[in-house]
Amino acid sequence: MPDRATLIEAQIPGLRRFACALLRGDQEAADDLVQDTLERALSYWNLRRKQDNPRGWLYTILYNRFLSEQHRVRRRGPHAALTEDTDLPGIEGGQHSALEHRDLLRAFAALPEEQRAVLLLVGVEDASYQEAARVLGVPIGTVMSRLSRGRERLRRSIYGELGQNVRQCNGPLRRVK
C-alpha cells in the first residue's frame, strides 16, 4: 500500500487542472484552492472511506471548497467576483487552434457553474458518470441531464450564429477522437 503522500501527489496534476478550469484560468487562485484541498485531505486522511481510491475523495473536497469560496465571494460583493476578463488558459499555445481554443474557453466560461463542473469531470478528468455524481453529491440522472444541457449550450454558443452556414456549406466538422 503506497503511503498517503504518494497517493495524494499522484492526483495533484488533475486537481490543478480541474481547479484552474473551475476558476476560469486563474492559476494563482487555483493553486490556493488545491493547497487548501491538500491540507484538508491531510487532516482528514483517516476519515475517508478506506476502500475507495482517494481520487474521488480529493475531487470532492476540492469541489466543496470551491463552492464555499464562491459563496463567500458572492456575499462579499460583485467587485470581488471573477469577471470574464480573466485571462483564459491555452491562448499562448501558439498552435493553429489557439483561436478555436479561445472561443471554446470563452463559451465554456459562460456556462453555469454546475454544468461546467460536470463537463470537466466527465470530459476532461475522465471520471465515470457515477464518480462525477459522487463528487458533486447529486444523483447520476442529474449528472446526465447537466451533461446534456451543458454540451448543448456550449454547442449553441460556438456553432450557434454560424449554425446555418455550417450546415449549408457542409461545414468542417472535425471528428477529434
Partner 1 sequence: MRAASRPIEEDDLQGWVDGRLTPEQAEAVETYFAAHPEAKERWSQYAAQRAGLRAAFAENAEAPIPARLRVSRLLAERRTRRYRQFARIAAAIALLVAGGIGGWAAHDLLPGLTSSASAVLASSVFDDAIAAHRTFSVETRHPVEVGANEEAHLVQWLSKRLGRPLIIPDLSGLGFQLMGGRLLPADSGPAALFMYEDDKGTRLSCYYLVADIAGGSEFKFHEQNGINAFYWIEDGLAYAITANMPRDRLLKIAEIVYQQNSAGGAKAKLPPAPGKPS
In the complex, the residues that contact partner 1 under the rule CB under 8 A are 4-5, 8-9, 12-14, 16-17, 20-21, 27-28, 30-31, 34-36, 38-39, 42-44, 46-47, 49, 60-61, 64, 67-68, 76, 80, 89-90, 93, 97, 100-101, 104-105, 108, 119-120, 122-124, 128-129, 137, 144, 147-148, 151, 154-155, 158-159, 167, 173-177
Q: In angstroms, give the least distance from the CB of 34 to partner 1.
A: 6
The three-state (H, E, C) secondary structure of 45-100, written as one string: HHHCCCCCCHHHHHHHHHHHHHHHHHHHHHHHCHHHCCCCCCCCCCHHHCCCCHHH
* Amino acid at the residue 165: N
Locate cell 467587485: which residue? 79
Q: How far apart are CA 14 and CA 70, in angstroms?
A: 21
* End-to-end CA separation in angstroms for the chain: 35
Between 64 and 114, whose beta carbon lies closer to partner 1? Answer: 64
Q: How far is the CB of 57 from partner 1 (least distance, A)?
A: 9
Q: What's the min distance (Å) between Cβ of 122 and partner 1?
A: 6
How far, in Å, CA of 161 to CA of 68, rounded? 36
Shortest CA distance to 19 belongs to which of 56, 55, 65?
65
C-alpha span between 173 and 116 (Å, rounded):
23
Least distance from partner 1 to the Cβ atom of residue 121, Å: 11
Which lies closer to partner 1 via its Cβ, residue 120 or residue 133? 120
* Shortest CB 74 distance to partner 1, Å: 13
Do residues 97 and 136 make contact, with C-beta atoms less than 8 angstroms apart?
A: no
